[in-house]
Structure 1
Amino acid sequence: MHRRSTRRAALTTLAAAAALTTGALVTAPSAVAVEPTTATIDFDCGSYGSGSATLTATQEGTAATITVSTSAITAPIDIGAGSVNSTLTLTKNGSGTTTFTGSSNPAIPSGSPVSTGPLAGTVAAGDSLEAASLEVVVLGVTATCNATSAQAPGPFVF
């Protein structure tokens, strides 16, 4: 009988420890996969204008997205949702390049800054990406924007 009580107490203690561990895991904050999540950069888009851009990055595994909002290009007319095709080229780890592409955008009223994304790309752990250029195609017209400043506060690190 004494042996049975000892086993029951041990099982109860083990179950309580497991419950506490599970509770701690559930309430632990999730780690951010990309740092920083938001950055700014300046673009020169030639005859379309120049200005700053805000880049917002997210990551889930090897899939990443970057959303771009820039005052460097303004909509000449109302632009419908999903009608902007964009390619964001980024330097990768200081030497190569990678691209993020997409044709997703909110509706953009005439005269408003262009917002595009999420633009999708693939990353690996440790990738350091900094925007170099942005190509935006709206109604068959292409605007190419080149970075004129470093990305602040720094490259996206995945």
Structure 2
Amino acid sequence: MRGKQLTTVAALAAGTLAATGLAFAPAAAAVTPQSATINATCNIGGGGEATLTATQDSTAATITLSSTSITTPLPLAQNSVTSTLTLVNASGGTTAFSGKKNPAMAAGSGVSVGPLDGTVASGDSLETYGGSLKMVVFGITISCTANAPQSPGPFVFD
């Protein structure tokens, strides 16, 4: 009987240690900053300030772009804009975030696309300046480019 009690106590202690270990486990990978602002010019829809919001889960990342300055000339249905956001990597090359995700937008309203999906590596430092945003709407490609580096700085992924 004494051996059974000892086994039970040992099992409870192991469970407590395991739970404590989970409480102190490292947090999930995160990108910093989580949002940045750019000033962009587009061949259709004007230009101006846009906000980029980034998330990361391991090597999977997303970026959403929204702007009240860059507008849509026509009403757009939900998930009707095919978008590719290409960012420049500080270590060389580019990383693309793409998808066909957007809310419904009325004519003249600000543009919002994403979350656009991409793959990142730990330590990637990604910047919109030098990259581009391409949106395909009704078969027409709209291109936007940043006029200066994003603020407060590039997205750095864990």
The TM-score range, normalised by the shorter chain, is 0.7 to 0.9
Contact 1:133 1:145 in 2 (8 A): yes
How far is 1:139 from its partner? 1.5
1:80-115 per-position Cα deviation (integer Å, ceiling 9, x unaligned)? 001011110100124311211111111112211110
1:80 is paired with a residue of what secondary structure? coil
Does the aligned pair in 1 maintain the 2:29–2:57 contact within 8 Å?
no
The corresponding residue for 2:95 is: 98
Within 5 A, what are the aligned runs for 1:39-78? 39-78=36-75
1:5 Cα offset (Å)? 6.4
- CA offset digits 1:107-143 (Å, max 9, x no partner): 1122111100111111111111111211111122221
Amino acid at match of 1:154: G
Q: CA RMSD in A?
A: 2.5
Structure 1 partner of 2:134: 135
In structure 2, the residue corresponding to 1:136 is in which secondary structure?
strand
Residue number in structure 2 paired with 1:145: 144
Q: Deviations over 1:34-84 (max 9, x none)?
A: 111111111111353111111111112211111111234212222100101
SS where residue 152 of structure 2 aligns?
Answer: coil
**More displaced stretch, 18-27 vs 146-155:** 18-27
Is residue 81 from structure 1 mapped to residue 75 from structure 2 by the alignment?
no
Larger Rg: 1
Q: Which amino acid aligns with 2:51?
A: T
Establish whether residue 35 from structure 1 lines up as the match of residue 1 from structure 2: no
Question: Is the CA contact (8 Å cut-off) linking 2:87 and 2:127 kept in structure 1?
Answer: yes
**Could you tell me how far apart the structure 1 residues matched to 2:3 and 2:78 are?**
67
* TM value normalised by structure 1: 0.83
Partners of 1:92 and 1:130 within 8 A in 2? yes
Is 1:125 the counterpart of 2:122? The answer is yes
Range 69-78 or range 120-129, more displaced: 69-78
TM-score (norm 2): 0.83
- Pick the structure with more helix per residue: 1
Matched residues in 2 for 1:94 and 1:71: separation?
32
1:116 equivalent in structure 2: 113
| Letter paired with 2:116 | L
